[in-house]
A = this chain, B = another copy of it.
Amino acid sequence: MASLQDVAKKAGVSTATVSRVLNDAPNISPDTRARVKKAIRQLMYKPNRVARRLRSPGGQKKLIGLLIPDIQNPFYVEVLRGVEDVAYANGYSVLLCNYAQDKKKEKSYLDILQSEEIDGLIAAPFDEEDPDIIRLLQSGLSLVCVDRGLKGIDVDIVLVDNFQGAYEATELLLKLGHKRIGYIGGMKSIPSSIQRKQGYVQAHQDYGVPLDEDLIRFGDSKHESGKKISNELLTQPDPPTALFTGNNLITLGALETIHALNLKIPEDIAIVGFDDMYWAISLNPPLTAVRQPGYGYEIGRRATQILFRRIAEPEMEPARVILNPKLIIRKSCGSAQLNAEQE
């Protein structure tokens, strides 16, 4: 691999000049610029990003990190795509760290990110207290949170209105006459699990339907837990007539259980899920779901834009972007039209 030195030699200039041409610095004679560019072409020179990163001050390293809880969750795939598109358009690469719901792995990735000289980080923390991320933030790293924030800390954050989404989902089921609606949340330590529960509770209160605390359960945000908890709920003596599932994977797990129990949707059991997927229409039956903007893509996109602003302007007021979810009504909760939008 040709180095910047080689280019300098070939063009008969100093390395500084080559560096200037590379970085579009002003005050270079058109002639030298041309000579350097020619040498670059001839040698097929590509700047070494590692060396550049080592030398460049913060904000010019052209690398950002993305820390997510679970790449198997299609929501985070969409977030990733949003992040990647904006980063790529700006000449940045993305170092993806998927901690797979494992707190130890998260910590280890945070160490790696710290020693990879990134310009900034987009992260969905393990939980609201996450001391490791807080330490990183306080050490001066530009950070934007997605999906969940940090307790008591005013950090840039982009997320959906979880309360509202859960409220609308629950409201739909209540309007359809359901009195016993199960809620299967993700991990109890994740703010979104709590906020979604609150929307669920508030809807019950507003509609005067008494709550049965036993129908409210939390798991670990994964497929398996949706499968297991839905089975517990549906095989008890007085089972719910509807289910509100707390995320993508939980919904898929619950569907699997429902089919295994040979229950009919929506006659025996109605279901509304948080998180829509572009193929949710091909599920059995087509799923009624709360869609986050762009299925998550929009969250990644916005977060990255904010991160770039934060990098350029570290003292900027923290941004707090709360996007609106949208209830997509399909067949899994009955043939209701009501007043929510349809796909």
| A binding-site residues for B, Cβ under 8 Å | 1, 46-51, 53-54, 71-72, 74, 77, 80-81, 84, 88, 93-98, 100, 105, 108, 111-112, 114-117, 139, 223, 252, 255-256, 259, 278-279, 281-286
Chain B residue at minimum C-beta to C-beta distance from A114:
B46
* CB <8 Å contact, B279 and A256: yes
Do A279 and B77 touch (CB < 8 A)?
A: no
Question: Are the C-beta atoms of A252 and B50 separated by less than 8 Å?
Answer: no
Give the distance in Å from the alpha carbon of A53 to the alpha carbon of B49 in the complex.
11
Cα(A220)–Cα(B84), bound, Å:
21
Q: Please, how many angstroms separate the alpha-carbon atoms of A46 and B113 in the complex?
A: 11
| Residues in chain B near residue A98, CB distance under 8 A | 80-81, 84
Chain B residue contacts of A96, Cβ below 8 A: 94, 96
Measured between beta carbons, the chain B residues less than 8 angstroms from A97 are 93
Are A259 and B282 in touch, CB under 8 angstroms? yes
A94 contact set on B, CB distance < 8 A? 96
- Are A93 and B116 closer than 8 Å at their CB atoms? yes
Q: Which of A1, A77, A111, A139 counts the most chain B CB atoms within 10 A?
A: A77
Pairwise interchain contact B282-A1, C-beta atoms closer than 8 A = no
Q: Is the CB of A115 within 8 A of B49?
A: yes
State whether B278 touches A115 (Cβ < 8 A): no
Contact A47 B115, CB 8 Å, known A98-B84, A256-B279: yes
In the bound complex, do residue A252 and residue B223 qualify as a contact, i.e. CB atoms below 8 Å apart? Answer: no
A-B contact pairs, 12 of them (CB 8 A): A48-B117, A50-B54, A50-B116, A51-B54, A72-B81, A77-B77, A81-B98, A96-B96, A282-B283, A282-B284, A283-B283, A284-B284
Partner of A53, one of B50, B80, B114: B50
- Closest Cβ of chain B: how far from A299's Cβ, in Å? 16
